[in-house]
Chain A
């Protein structure tokens, strides 16, 4: 284990540090030895959610009355960073979509009845959640989604399609964005709905094959006259766009932290390799050019790490931080690309082989600059605030 992951940090409390230790041990014991099989299956087993639930890891941000720990954004960042050390980006994504991207919609905007109905089973890992915003014709531009929800008596009727939805296949509860008003400002007419797996008119049209994140199930969803009860409207009608934007802060923090965890772990694996691999009579780690480049990558990773901690701290204090969170999302995910590129390079041929963790990590890392707010979109958010 790297010493970085055992160091204290001025922003981290004893609980944060103990949480980090706990998650690192969990991934070491229960993810790393078996993750390869999940990659083959294209999804993580439900049981791993239940085991994480039993350890309290799925309810970090959920109020105590619903079985959660009610901790802050820094705790989410600690979780995401430590999960990043699992080397299985798909597993990490599957968990973080549940804990930090989908469920927060319910925690923040759900009514007491909705929270009481769902949060306990989400915290236990019995209910897996997904967030369905992106569509075939609307990704970065959330306002332009086309899925429609029309009120008919006691029901909302949903029509449309969603794509690239993580936990899309084995999800139980989908938080779905749909247009509820077509007049006025585009940002105004979006609402959020809770759709349960098995609701007539809702189906998973296909599981998507991906470059990486193989152990997470990414799906295309279809809604055809899907009728859901009015109680399943989440938050205020027509205010969904603002809820999505609010939630993006947390999503982006955990993606940045996950990237930093992965970069740190990739460097550690590479260092282990370089120390024992010999060429031209000595360990590769004695070669100046390699040492310098890996040291530079380590410095970038550490800088990225401090940025995401700082952004999370601002968020945890309730301070304005869209600029810092956007910077962190872009910077952490971008530097990770360079890190995994060099780590594959320094592994030599082994870095290109399916049997090495670094090969998977390099494939997994690629999506980090695209999903959850692409780098260009993040820098636009920064530019607007300079």
Chain B
């Protein structure tokens, strides 16, 4: 079982975000970066699949600057065998990122390539499916349950109001939803072993693409609540405000 996981370094969702002076990127000063939480489910699945198979290899790929090495080390500490840093600036255009990954993964002999279902920084959900297309392999997105048997994949996706079961053959690309597993914390042994695991750095050039971010704004601050009255008497005023102001009715 040979599994690749594509991993993105993202700001911790609990970090307070400040927009940079250019108005279209975030100010990275003092921001804590973590592995994209959905990618952690993918990492856990890759490690567990290899453990269950009893043999194979797990490889983590990350596109980014040198600081992404730290993120890769976290994956190695969890138990991934080796890492590859695709060293270069990413692109807002998911297609360019997918092209970069596909070029690296092609010919790698992977049975499975796993992505998180989305990166919590840009919410694009594109790179996984596009990479699958470029590699010419099937793709199942937002996998919440997974069974492998004799080279066939059966995956469950949580869709609106129910569960969809999909099947495809290997090799394939899967994007992973939360709930598939519980990602392990790296053990201290894992952390120490990670230092000695191979981490290859390969400079890449990612195209600019056709999609640009033109501006970023923070969500408006939440307004203070208001009490419109008490008891049944307040109902008409409340209904009217819900219609005219909140526009939810």
CB closest chain-A residue, reference B15:
A1
Question: A15 near B185 (CB under 8 angstroms)?
Answer: no
Residue A138 at the chain B interface, CB threshold 8 Å: no
CB closest chain-B residue, reference A3:
B30
Q: Which of A3, A14, A22, A25 contacts B188 (CB 8 A)?
A: A22
Residue A60 at the chain B interface, CB threshold 8 Å: yes
Residue A48 at the chain B interface, CB threshold 8 Å: no
Residues of A within 8 A of B185 (CB): 22, 25-26, 29, 55
Residues of B within 8 A of A1 (CB): 12, 14, 32
Residues of B within 8 A of A18 (CB): 73-74, 77, 186, 191, 194
Residue A6 at the chain B interface, CB threshold 8 Å: yes
Residue B202 at the chain A interface, CB threshold 8 Å: no
Q: Mark B125-162, 1 if CB is under 8 A from A, else 0.
A: 00000000000000000000000000000000000000
Residue B192 at the chain A interface, CB threshold 8 Å: yes
CB closest chain-B residue, reference A17:
B70
Residue A56 at the chain B interface, CB threshold 8 Å: yes
Question: B32 near A19 (CB under 8 angstroms)?
Answer: no
CB closest chain-A residue, reference B194:
A18
Q: Mark B179-192, 1 if CB is under 8 A from A, else 0.
A: 00000011111111
Question: B187 near A15 (CB under 8 angstroms)?
Answer: no
Question: B12 near A19 (CB under 8 angstroms)?
Answer: no
Residue B243 at the chain A interface, CB threshold 8 Å: no
Question: B30 near A56 (CB under 8 angstroms)?
Answer: no
Q: Which of B12, B14, B187, B195 contacts A55 (CB 8 A)?
A: B187
CA distance A344 to B74 in the complex (A): 37
Residue A57 at the chain B interface, CB threshold 8 Å: yes
CA distance A345 to B143 in the complex (A): 49
Q: Mark A9-50, 1 if CB is under 8 A from B, else 0.
A: 000001100110110011001000000000000000000000
Question: A19 near B188 (CB under 8 angstroms)?
Answer: yes
Residues of A within 8 A of B73 (CB): 14, 18
Residues of B within 8 A of A69 (CB): 188-189, 192
Residue A54 at the chain B interface, CB threshold 8 Å: yes
CA distance A1 to B194 in the complex (A): 25
CA distance A3 to B73 in the complex (A): 20
CA distance A15 to B73 in the complex (A): 10
Residues of A within 8 A of B191 (CB): 15, 18-19, 22, 56
Residues of B within 8 A of A56 (CB): 187-191
Residues of B within 8 A of A57 (CB): 188
CB closest chain-B residue, reference A30:
B185
Residues of B within 8 A of A19 (CB): 188, 191
Classify chain B's interface size: 10 to 19
CA distance A131 to B49 in the complex (A): 43
Interface centre among B14, B73, B191 (most CB of A within 10 A): B191
Q: Mark A233-270, 1 if CB is under 8 A from B, else 0.
A: 00000000000000000000000000000000000000
Known: A1-B14, A18-B74, A18-B77. A6 touches B32 (CB 8 A): yes
Residues of B within 8 A of A25 (CB): 185
CB closest chain-A residue, reference B30:
A3
CB closest chain-B residue, reference A75:
B188
Q: Which of B199-217 contact A (CB under 8 A)?
A: none
CB closest chain-B residue, reference A69:
B188
Q: How distant is A49 from chain B, measured CB to nearest CB, in Å?
A: 15
Q: Mark A315-335, 1 if CB is under 8 A from B, else 0.
A: 000000000000000000000
Q: Which of B32, B74, B192 contacts A15 (CB 8 A)?
A: B192
Q: How distant is B164 from chain A, measured CB to nearest CB, in Å?
A: 30
Question: B188 near A55 (CB under 8 angstroms)?
Answer: yes
Residues of B within 8 A of A60 (CB): 188
CA distance A203 to B195 in the complex (A): 46
CB closest chain-B residue, reference A56:
B188
CA distance A15 to B185 in the complex (A): 15
CA distance A96 to B191 in the complex (A): 21
CB closest chain-A residue, reference B12:
A1
CA distance A208 to B190 in the complex (A): 39
CA distance A14 to B191 in the complex (A): 9
CA distance A21 to B185 in the complex (A): 10
CA distance A362 to B190 in the complex (A): 36
Q: How distant is A159 from chain B, measured CB to nearest CB, in Å?
A: 41
Known: A3-B32, A6-B32. A14 touches B195 (CB 8 A): yes
Residues of A within 8 A of B194 (CB): 18
Q: How distant is A211 from chain B, measured CB to nearest CB, in Å?
A: 32
Residues of A within 8 A of B32 (CB): 1, 3, 6
22 A-B residue pairs with CB within 8 Å: A1-B12, A1-B14, A1-B32, A3-B30, A3-B32, A6-B32, A15-B192, A15-B195, A18-B73, A18-B74, A18-B77, A19-B188, A22-B185, A54-B187, A55-B186, A55-B188, A56-B188, A56-B189, A57-B188, A69-B188, A69-B189, A69-B192
B→A interface (CB under 8 Å)? 12, 14, 30, 32, 73-74, 77, 185-192, 194-195
CB-CB nearest 5 A-B residue pairs: A56-B188, A18-B191, A56-B187, A6-B32, A55-B187
